[in-house]
Amino acid sequence: MGYLDELNESQRVAVEHIYGPSMVIAGAGSGKTRVLTYRIAHMVEQGIDPHNIMALTFTNKAAKEMSERIGKIVGGSEAKSITMGTFHSVFSRILRYNADRIGFPNNFTIYDTQDSKSLIKDIIKEFSLDDKTYKPSGVFGRISTAKNNLISPEAYINNTDIQAEDRMSRRPELGRIYAQYANRCQRAGAMDFDDLLYFTNVLLSTQPEVLHYYQQKFKYILVDEYQDTNYAQYLIVKKLAAAYENLCVVGDDAQSIYSFRGANIENILNFRKDYPDFSLFKLEQNYRSTQNIVDAANSVIKRNQDQIQKSVWTHNGKGNPISIVRTLTDNEEGRVIANKIYDLKQSKVPDYNAFAILYRTNKQSRSFEEALRKLNIPYKIYGGLSFYQRKEIKDVLAYFRLTANPNDEEALKRVINYPKRGIGKTSIENIIISAGSHGVSMWDVIQNLQQYPADITNSTKQKLYEFVTMIRSFQAEMLKVDAYTLAEHITRSTGILRELVEEKEKGPEEVERLQNVEELLAGIQEFVKSSEEEELKTLPDFLLDVSLLTDADQEKTEDRNHVSLMTIHSSKGLEYPHVYIVGMEENLFPSQLSMSSKSDLEEERRLFYVALTRAMETCTLSYTGSRFVWNQSIRCEPSRFLDEIDASFVHHETPMRSQQGRSLMGGMDRSFTGGLNVSLKQPSLPRSLKSLSNLPNSPSQGSDFQDIKVGTNVEHSRFGKGKVTHLDGNGADKKAVIFFPHHGAKTVLLKFANLVVLPD
């Protein structure tokens, strides 16, 4: 058992403890995977039948790597006998053997997301419901949430709170759709991805002999990344482990960052309640980062109240302090970070793959992509497409390209029926046939259907005429107005912007699509404003600029030596010698959506902790004074997280000065309520950098929010004018539901809402 000699004392104790419930709290960079792997190998070495071991992971890659490592210690055949894989893969195999017990064939089909949405679309049509109100994606998301919380269609329909929520959202038929969807899936012998967990719970709850069989089979259960489990996963594990309680969960509550997809931090925090006699092991030695980075991360996460106390430490060298950089704009932020990477690469870093740029949302990548391209620095986007390769961006750019060159057939095919205008696939195919037979472009055909006839209906001909007229109107303005003016006009006139605004209620992905288009327009505005020439910067000028950047990018698609760009969520589990965490601004990071609840804010802080602990040697934090949002420059305030890092672990690089001559860090007064919603034209409010817990309980505008009542007319800096429809809570925790005509109902925490009371 020489492999045990590779472990430190804490790791070895956790590995050698086999029996009973146990929890391994593994701090960042503490060797969690090694402990989990060696623990399983040690169990086999101690004579435990590998058929009695089940290990659950969140990725197939993790399961494969663990199996290979175990195989090297105990032998490949033994390793293959262990049931190891993701929750969905393991439980789908259980269902294959037992599905007939719960009304499904054992060879059931697994629907992917598109299959599910297509079925939901058919049901909405069958029920004669408005598909703009009952959008298939939104309905699918609602059903998915219900299943992950083990809510059946019957329970959904009979739950008065759920029904009230659906009526508030003007979708009272969601329960009926859910019930019909479940019936149609069962009739088709199909399960969707969520069903693999939902029906495993149904199976184990309703078939005691099946539960008994698997309790006896899986006498030893191990769960990786336990902090990321949802309610359905938690309950399955609890049921299977009930007979022997040889359950080992491994995770880190400080890295619980996936609540948006159903993860429940309470699962790990309440483990001791489920298993009072459990054994707790803490892996606190960090092998990844410098002492300075570890200490800085500790100084931040200690502010969270809901956590399992631990003290991560390292024997690594002290290292450099964390650098904090302020730039004037988001575009300057991109240039500064790109230059830092360039300089460090030239001086002492052999490869670009030592660098990573981490951001809160994918839309932030644009300024960094452009800056890296201009310095000829190779990069790769992880966890998302390159900004200019994202569907919504390509759709908008296709309209721009078609305006500049109507003979661009790829652009035409992309947008001729987007947003949907009733020009069907068959009609498009007939237009292509006509163009081919006459040797002309598709544009020639659709603008002169009499000369180049195509087999299409009169109704479609009218829609094509309207489309041609719209594109011609864009062309008439192309050389008369600047690129931004025309670009904004196109996104509005085509209906793209309206569709994205309507879709944003579906979920975070749809919100991000809208944000990406906003970011594109902001980039075009910056392109126009940054011109040192007096001549008009037109849309063709911008397209040329973009095409050159894209060409440079394409030349390096196979180059593995690149800077990594990704969201912080995507970075979890990874490490890089040099990390740049960008966009450290209030309402961006922490997200504006996290401001109304302590639990949400604590998750944002955990996300920051994850970002910091990706760094091995150096870490740089950057924020901007302003960002372009639509047609105005928006003031940005430094993130509260910057102030939460102990001052002894940071270095401020040549702090910029405000117009009053005060430092914008280390004592500049700021408002936490301003953030991305405060224009540069508005005065900043005096408030020192301090933690949220020390904020006064008065609104930033100075009015007494305790006087706000139901029916009060107010104005919000982002959402505009609205009326208070409901109040909840008392004192500093008082919340209001406000209806805004253009944004719908929003729930705000009054002490941070920055509301202005309007006269009746």
In three state form, how does the secondary structure of 227-251 look? HHCCHHHHHHHHHHHCCCCCEEEEE
In this prediction, residue 547 carries a pLDDT of: 58
Look at strands 247-251 and 22-26 and give their pairing. Answer: parallel
Encoded tokens for 216: 């006896």
**Active-site residue among 32, 142, 572, 751?**
32
* Catalytic-residue membership of 266: no
The total of other beta-carbon atoms located within 10 Å of residue 450's CB is 6
CA distances from 304 to 267, 300, 604, 608, 734 (A): 17, 8, 10, 12, 22
Q: How confident is the model at residue 681 (pLDDT cuts 50, 70, 90)?
A: very low
More confident residue, 80 or 548: 80
Range with lowest mean pLDDT among 380-384, 541-545, 555-559, 602-606: 555-559
Alpha-carbon gap, residue 44 to 639, rounded angstroms: 49
Question: CA–CA separation, 534 vs 547, rounded Å?
Answer: 23
Who has greater pLDDT, 597 or 332? 332
Closest CA to 30 of 45, 16, 14: 14
Q: Using CA atoms, how far apart are residues 90 and 376, in angstroms rounded to an integer?
A: 45
pLDDT band at 597 (very low <50, low <70, confident <90, very high): confident
Active-site residue 225, yes or no? Answer: yes
Q: What is the CA radius of gyration of the chain?
A: 29
Question: DSSP H helical segments within 287-423, as ranges?
Answer: 291-301, 330-347, 365-374, 391-404, 409-415
Catalytic residue, chosen from 11, 227, 233, 255, is 255
Give the pLDDT mean for 28-34. Answer: 88
Q: 358 phi and psi, to 5 degrees?
A: -115, 135
Residue for token digits 């009054």?
Answer: 750
Over 90: is that where the pLDDT of 269 sits? no
- Most confident range, picked from 276-280, 503-507, 665-669, 691-695: 276-280
Could you give the CA distance from residue 561 to residue 622 in angstroms, rounded to a whole number?
Answer: 24
Residues 416-429: pLDDT tens digits? 999 999 999 899 98
pLDDT grade for 241, boundaries at 50, 70 and 90 = very high
Of 605, 614, 635, 734, the catalytic one is: 614
With a cut of 90, say whether residue 475 has pLDDT above it.
yes
Helix (H, G, I), strand (E, B) or coil at 40: helix
- Position 614: which residue type? R
Instruction: Choose, from 33, 186, 485, 701, the residue flagged as catalytic.
Output: 33
Query: Is the pLDDT confidence value at 139 over 80?
Result: yes
What sign does the dihedral 205-209-212-218 (CA atoms) show? negative
Quick one: pLDDT at residue 742? 63
Helices 60-74 and 32-45, axial angle in degrees (round to 10): 40
Tens digit of each residue's pLDDT (9 = 90 or more) over 213-227: 999 999 999 999 898
CA distance 117 to 114: 5
Q: What is the DSSP letter of 536?
A: -
Reading across the β-sheet that carries 53-57, which strands appear in turn?
A: 83-86, 53-57, 220-223, 247-251, 22-26, 279-283
Categorise residue 421: left if φ over 0, alpha if ψ from -120 to 50, beta otherwise.
alpha
- Percent of the chain surpassing pLDDT 70: 87
Distance in angstroms (rounded) separating the CA atoms of residues 36 and 58: 14
Out of 194-208, 234-248, 710-724, which region has the weakest mean confidence (pLDDT)?
Answer: 710-724
The model carries a pTM of 0.64
66-80, 386-400, 740-754: segment of lowest average pLDDT? 740-754
- pLDDT at residue 267, as a whole number: 85
Q: Which residues contact 114 (CB under 8 A, 6 or more apart)?
A: none
pLDDT band at residue 551 using 50, 70 and 90 as cut-offs: very low
338-344: long-range contacts at Cβ-Cβ below 8 A with a sequence spacing of 24 or more?
A: 338/368, 338/371, 338/372, 338/374, 338/375, 338/377, 339/371, 339/375, 340/580, 340/620, 341/372, 341/377, 341/563, 341/578, 341/580, 342/375, 342/377, 344/578
pLDDT value at 358 more than 80: yes
* pLDDT over 90 (residue 620): yes
Looking at residue 656, its pLDDT comes to 44
**Greater model confidence, 283 or 112:** 283
Average pLDDT over every residue of 34-61: 90
Is 657 a known active-site residue?
Answer: no
pLDDT at 701 over 50: no
Residue 512 confidence class, pLDDT cut points 50, 70, 90? confident
d(CA 5, CA 15): 12
Checking if the pLDDT of 736 tops 80, the result is yes
Q: What is the mean pLDDT of residues 108-115?
A: 71
User: Is residue 614 annotated as part of the catalytic site, yes or no?
Assistant: yes
Using the Cα atoms of residue 22, residue 27, residue 28 and residue 31 in order, give the sign of their dihedral.
Answer: negative
Work out the average pLDDT over 110-123. 78
Helices 208-217 and 195-206: crossing angle, nearest 10°?
100
Whether the pLDDT of residue 679 is over 50: the answer is no
Catalytic residue among 166, 192, 194, 224: 224
Question: What digits encode the pLDDT tens for the residues 556-567?
Answer: 344 468 999 999
Q: Given this model, what pLDDT does residue 473 score? A: 95
Q: What pLDDT sits at residue 706?
A: 63
> Do residues 641 and 584 touch, judged by C-beta distance below 8 A?
yes
When pLDDT is averaged across residues 116-129 and rounded to a whole number, the result is 88
Among the listed ranges 45-59, 322-336, 653-667, which one has the minimum average pLDDT value?
653-667
Tokens of 207: 């078939």
d(CA 136, CA 56): 32
Top pLDDT among 190 and 97 is at 97
Mean pLDDT check: name the lowest of 75-89, 92-106, 522-536, 654-668. 654-668
Look at 7-16, 546-555, 615-624, 722-731 and tell me which has the smallest mean pLDDT. 546-555
Any idea what DSSP says for residue 591?
B
Asked whether the CA dihedral 170, 176, 177, 178 is positive or negative, the reply is positive
User: What does the alpha-carbon distance between residue 473 and residue 371 come to, in Å, rounded to a whole number?
Assistant: 34
616 — pLDDT class (breaks 50, 70, 90): very high
More confident residue, 404 or 39: 39
* pLDDT tier, 738 (very low <50, low <70, confident <90, very high otherwise): confident
pLDDT at 697: 33
Based on the number of CB atoms within 10 Å of its own CB, is 226 exposed (0-12), middle (13-18) or buried (19 or more)? buried
Query: Given this model, what pLDDT does residue 690 score?
Result: 27
Higher pLDDT, 324 or 116: 324
Amino acid at 538: T
Instruction: Decide if 40 contacts 74 (C-beta within 8 A).
Output: no
Query: Residue 49: CA atoms inside 13 Å, Cβ hemisphere, count?
Result: 6
Smallest CA-to-CA distance from 474 within 460, 463, 461, 488 is with: 488
Mean predicted lDDT score pLDDT of the chain? 83
33: annotated active-site residue: yes
Secondary structure (3-state) at 633? strand
Burial track 84-123 (b if 16+ CB lie within 10 A, e otherwise): bbbbbebbbebbeebbeebebeeebeebeeeebbebbbeb
Confidence of residue 730 (pLDDT cuts 50, 70, 90): confident
Q: Average the pLDDT over 523-543 and give the result.
A: 80
pLDDT band for 533, please (50, 70, 90 cuts).
low
Q: What is the pLDDT averaged over residues 717-740? A: 77
Q: Is 457 among the catalytic positions?
A: no
Closest CA to 35 of 55, 59, 60: 55
The secondary element (H helix, E strand) that includes residue 477 is: helix 458-477
- CA-to-CA distance for 486 and 404, rounded, in angstroms? 11
Mean pLDDT of 75-80: 83
**Number of other CB atoms surrounding residue 312 within 10 Å:** 24
- Any idea which of 244-248, 366-370, 407-411 has the lowest mean pLDDT? 407-411
Lowest mean pLDDT among 65-79, 244-258, 323-337, 645-659: 645-659
Kindly indicate the confidence band of residue 654, based on its pLDDT and cuts at 50, 70 and 90.
low
Q: What are the structure tokens assigned to 645, written together? A: 């890092």
pLDDT of residue 312 exceeding 60, the answer is yes
Which residue in the list 166, 194, 195, 225 is annotated as catalytic?
225
